[in-house]
């Protein structure tokens, strides 16, 4: 019942702000024009369309605001007037009353702000869809930012997610590509990440992890600045962190005036993104301009500053290796390898013809090589790949939805910073170096070191385990049966076992070399 009421509310708000005009007015047909007049009761919206769309999304709640934030970075896909208005959703959502923020801090930390902090700014410095931020000063003199969760968010989000789940079920049952697109799994991923955003302790832990990943002892010092968490003033609904000073990445004129090298900044952004994805498998997945600043301090001028860690993505080793090989194959224009990777991963049916898939991928990607970012739209590329995937029954991978969203955000920011940035040439050397470190001799040595602890515990126990099994009562028939089964398996998988033996031989040789070195 609540889901149905929420649906009617969405329809009502859409009509109230004249959003029907954005759809029906594009049809030059008398029936559409007449329907538009009936819906509006003969009236015409007075405010600009971008303003109406932004206000409607703000009224509808956090999920719709998130959608607007992502859309605001795609100026190549939406009109400029709409993009400018939607950009206000990044950090200028109307704040909730400061008295409610103070009450939330008191309930979470056990004391009002005026006692917890030496100074607390009542007016928020930024307000977003999930929370708002107040600046403060600790009693030890440290400047901090205090993030406070909006009251009542859980109920609103649950209502919208219930509606999305209903729509996903309908699409899965009635849509021609319903099963392949996995809409329910995609919504489930979205559900998980949104609920994670409501737990500011989880966000603080994400912040802490990302700070460690780019700490000075990692060799990445100077790439990305991440605030330090103040754990004693952090709870589920309150997150206190080091205050960071910088310029929003969208304010390019201010960045130039501060002496920031914009072209270098654009290249660094690409490297930071690929480092997070492929080296760590842990990446900031909400990288709209409201969450990314650039330091304007003399000692750290031009360094990126990451904020808002409510949504992060993670990739398994399989995902990282698969994606890296795909990217490298694309960079080398090896479309046959791209087709092979899709078939080997099981993302397309096993009976897919390699040469057909290769030709389809080539038709999508080849026109975009050797062109500056200003002439390339990843949104258009993804749309064409989506059409190709439908033809070949490619299964959508829900765990990569966040990565796709982040890629679009990165492209939007990169386009604003340096339209002439060659995305392919910038990323290719990094990926080649990363693949060499993982797949080459150095990577094999690192894996052996990592697994040495486990083997050191297991190997001494093998003689005792074999002796115990041989002396166990009634063990002989069991062992005989096991040997028979093992022999059959060896006969059926002879080639596989030979390959494994070769790999083990190489591993032993490398291990001996590492020990004696």
Residue numbers annotated as active site: 286
DSSP character at residue 221: T
Look at residue 110 and give its three-state secondary structure.
coil
Give the separation between CA 226 and CA 283, rounded to whole angstroms. Answer: 13
Look at residue 293 and give its three-state secondary structure.
strand
User: Which long-range contacts (C-beta less than 8 Å, at least 24 apart) are formed by 402-405?
Assistant: 402/189, 402/193, 402/285, 402/311, 402/313, 403/277, 403/283, 403/285, 403/313, 403/315, 403/323, 405/70, 405/285
Angle between helices 401-417 and 262-274 (to 10 degrees): 170
**Helix residue spans in 182-316 (DSSP H):** 183-197, 200-213, 252-257, 262-274
Look at residue 131 and give its three-state secondary structure.
strand
Give the separation between CA 85 and CA 71, rounded to whole angstroms. Answer: 11
Q: What are the CA-CA distances from residue 24 to residues 38, 39, 75, 231, 466 (Å)?
A: 12, 11, 22, 51, 76
Spatial neighbors of 436 by CB under 8 A, at least 6 apart, are 442, 443
Residue in this structure with the two tokens 């069991």, named with its chain if needed: 478
Query: What sign has the CA pseudo-torsion 167, 169, 171, 173?
Result: negative
The two three-digit tokens of residue 69, written as one number: 């934030």
Give the separation between CA 406 and CA 158, rounded to whole angstroms. Answer: 24
Residue 180 phi/psi, 5-degree rounding, is: -70, -35
């Amino acid at each position: 019942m609540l889901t149905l009421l929420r649906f009617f509310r969405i329809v009502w708000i859409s009509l109230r702000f004249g959003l029907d005009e954005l759809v029906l007015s594009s049809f030059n047909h008398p029936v559409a024009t007449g329907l538009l007049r009936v819906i509006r009761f003969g009236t015409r919206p007075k405010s600009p369309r971008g303003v109406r769309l932004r206000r409607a999304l703000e009224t509808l709640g956090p999920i719709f605001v998130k959608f607007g934030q992502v859309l605001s970075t795609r100026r190549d896909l939406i009109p400029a007037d709409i993009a400018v208005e939607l950009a206000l959703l990044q950090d200028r959502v109307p704040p909730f009353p400061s008295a409610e923020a103070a009450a939330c801090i008191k309930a979470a930390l056990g004391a009002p702000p005026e006692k917890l902090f030496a100074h607390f700014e009542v007016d928020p410095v930024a307000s977003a869809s999930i929370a708002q931020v107040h600046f403060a000063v600790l009693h030890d003199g440290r400047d901090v930012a205090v993030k406070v969760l909006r009251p009542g968010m859980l109920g609103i989000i649950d209502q919208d997610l219930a509606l999305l789940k209903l729509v996903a079920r309908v699409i899965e049952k009635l849509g021609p590509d319903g099963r392949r697109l996995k809409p329910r799994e995609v919504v489930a991923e979205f559900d998980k990440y949104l609920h994670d955003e409501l737990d500011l302790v989880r966000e603080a832990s994400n912040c802490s992890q990302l700070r460690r990943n780019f700490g000075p002892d990692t060799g990445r010092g100077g790439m990305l600045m991440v605030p330090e968490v103040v754990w004693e003033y952090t709870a589920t609904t309150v997150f206190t962190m080091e205050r960071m000073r910088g310029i929003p990445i969208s304010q390019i004129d201010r960045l130039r005036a501060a002496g920031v090298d914009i072209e270098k900044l654009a290249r660094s952004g690409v490297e930071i993104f690929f480092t997070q994805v492929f080296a760590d498998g842990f990446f900031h997945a909400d990288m709209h301009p409201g969450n990314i600043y650039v330091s304007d301090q003399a000692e750290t001028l031009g360094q990126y500053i990451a904020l808002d860690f409510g949504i992060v993505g993670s990739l398994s080793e399989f995902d990282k290796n698969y994606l890296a090989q795909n990217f490298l194959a694309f960079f080398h224009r090896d479309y046959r390898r791209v087709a092979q990777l899709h078939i080997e991963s099981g993302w397309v049916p096993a009976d897919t013809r390699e040469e057909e898939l290769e030709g389809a991928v080539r038709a999508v990607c080849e026109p975009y090589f050797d062109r500056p970012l200003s002439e390339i739209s990843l949104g258009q590329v993804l749309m064409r790949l989506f059409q190709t995937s439908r033809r070949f029954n490619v299964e959508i991978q829900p765990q990569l939805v966040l990565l796709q969203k982040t890629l679009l955000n990165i492209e939007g920011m990169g386009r604003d910073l340096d339209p002439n940035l060659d995305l392919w040439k910038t990323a290719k050397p990094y990926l080649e170096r990363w693949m060499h470190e993982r797949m080459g001799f150095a990577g094999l040595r690192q894996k052996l070191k990592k697994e040495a602890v486990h083997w050191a515990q297991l190997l001494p126990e093998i003689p005792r385990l074999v002796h115990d099994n041989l002396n166990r009562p009634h063990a002989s028939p069991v062992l005989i049966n096991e040997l028979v089964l093992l022999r059959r398996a060896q006969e059926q998988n002879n080639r596989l076992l030979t390959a494994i033996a070769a790999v083990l031989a190489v591993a032993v040789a490398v291990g001996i070399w590492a020990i004696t070195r």
